[in-house]
Amino acid sequence: MLRATGVSKSYGGETVLRELSLDVDAGEIVAVIGPSGVGKTTLLRLLSLSSEPDEGRVTLDGTDAWAVDETERLALRRRVGMVFQEASLFDASVARNVEYGLRVRRPWGDRLREGLRSVVGGNGTAEAVRESLDVVGLTDETDQHAESLSGGEAQRVSFARALAVDPDVLLLDEPTSDLDPRNTAVIEEAMDEARDRGIGVVVATHDMHQAERVADRVAVLLDGGISEVGPTERVFEEPRDSRTRRFIDGELVY
Binding site residues, other proteins, CB under 8 A: 48, 50, 74, 77-78, 81-82, 84, 86, 88-93, 96, 100-101, 104-105, 118, 158, 161-162, 165
Q: State residue 250 phi and psi, 5-degree precision.
A: 80, 15
Minimum CB separation from other proteins for residue 136, in Å?
A: 16
Residue 162 beta carbon to other proteins: minimum distance, rounded to whole angstroms: 7
Measured distance CA(134)–CA(142) in Å, rounded: 10
200 backbone dihedrals φ, ψ, rounded to 5°: -85, 125
Report in angstroms how near the CB of residue 44 gets to other proteins at its nearest.
10
Upper half-sphere CA count for residue 116 (Cβ side, 13 Å): 5
Rg (CA), the chain: 19
3-state SS string for 152-208? HHHHHHHHHHHHCCCCCEEEEECCCCCCCHHHHHHHHHHHHHHHHCCCEEEEEECCH
Task: Tell me how far, at minimum, the Cβ of 233 lies from other proteins, in Å.
Answer: 31
In the complex, least distance from residue 158 CB atom to other proteins, rounded to whole angstroms: 7
Decide whether 66 or 100 has the Cβ nearer to other proteins. Answer: 100
Cα–Cα distance, 4 to 168 (Å, whole number):
15
Parallel, antiparallel or unpaired: strands 29-33 and 217-222:
parallel
Taking the least distance from each CB to other proteins, the nearer of 172 and 222 is 172
Nearer to other proteins, 200 or 239 (CB): 200
- Measured from the CB atom, the residue of 66 and 84 that comes closer to other proteins is 84
CB of 100 to other proteins, least distance (A): 5
Strands of the 169-173 sheet, one edge to the other: 80-83, 169-173, 200-205, 29-33, 217-222, 225-231
Pick between residue 99 and residue 228 the one whose CB is nearest to other proteins. Answer: 99
Instruction: Decide whether 168 or 228 has the Cβ nearer to other proteins.
Output: 168
SS3 content of the chain, % helix, strand, coil (to 5): 40, 25, 35
* C-beta of 2 vs 226, nearer to other proteins: 2
Separation in Å, CA 174 to CA 65, 96, 177:
24, 24, 6
Q: Give me the least distance between CB of 63 and other proteins, in Å please.
A: 17
Q: Regarding beta strands 2-11 and 55-60, do their DSSP bridges make them parallel or antiparallel, or are they unpaired?
A: antiparallel
